Amino acid sequence: MFDVDELKDKVLNNYKVTKEDALNLVDVPLDDLTSAANEIRYHFCGNKFDACTLINIKNGRCSEDCKFCAQSNHYNTDIDVYPILSKEELKERSLAILDAGFERISYVASGRKISEKEFNIISQVLEELNNERDDFHVCVSLGLLTKEQINTLKKLNVERVHNNLESSRNYFKEICTTHSYDEKLETIDDIRSENLMVCSGGIFGMGETFEDRIDLALILRDLGVKSIPINVLNPIKGTPVENNEILSNDEVCRLIAIFRFINPDAFIRMAGGRALLGDNGRKAFQSGANAGILGNMLTTAGVEIEEDLKLLDDLGFELTYSIE
pLDDT tens readout for residues 184-195? 999 999 999 999
| 133-182 pLDDT tens trace | 888 899 999 988 999 999 999 999 999 999 999 999 999 999 999 999 99
pLDDT over threshold 70, residue 311:
yes
Orientation of helix 147-155 relative to helix 181-193, angle to 10° = 40
Distance of alpha carbon 320 from alpha carbon 46, whole angstroms: 11
Q: What is the arithmetic mean of pLDDT over 311-320?
A: 92
Residue 285 near residue 252, CB atoms below 8 Å: no
Share of the chain above pLDDT 90, in %: 71
Count of CB atoms within 10 A of residue 238's CB?
Answer: 13
Q: What is the arithmetic mean of pLDDT over 67-73?
A: 81
**What's the pLDDT at 322?**
66
**pLDDT higher for 84 or 17?**
17
What is the 8-class DSSP label of residue 285?
Answer: G
Share of the chain above pLDDT 70, in %: 95
Q: For the chain, first and last CA: distance in Å?
A: 37
CA–CA distances in Å: residue 175 to residues 2, 31, 202, 245: 33, 31, 11, 16
Question: Whole-model pTM?
Answer: 0.93
Going 208 to 234 to 299 to 275, the CA torsion angle's sign is: negative
**What's the pLDDT at 302?**
46
Any idea what the Cα angle at residue 196 is, between residues 192 and 199, rounded to 5°? Answer: 85
Distance of alpha carbon 178 from alpha carbon 276, whole angstroms: 29
Distance of alpha carbon 4 from alpha carbon 254, whole angstroms: 13
One-character DSSP codes across 4-23:
HHHHHHHHHTTPPPPHHHHH
What is the 8-class DSSP label of residue 284?
Answer: G
Going 50 to 307 to 103 to 232, the CA torsion angle's sign is: positive
Phi, psi of 122 (to 5 degrees): -60, -45
Orientation of helix 116-132 relative to helix 147-155, angle to 10° = 20
**pLDDT higher for 281 or 74?**
281
Residue 73 near residue 112, CB atoms below 8 Å: no
Any idea what the Cα angle at residue 232 is, between residues 143 and 149, rounded to 5°? Answer: 15
Phi, psi of 295 (to 5 degrees): 90, -160
Decide yes or no: CATH 3.20.20.70 for domain 4-320.
Answer: yes
The overall average pLDDT reported for the chain is: 91
Q: Where are the domains of the chain?
A: 4-320
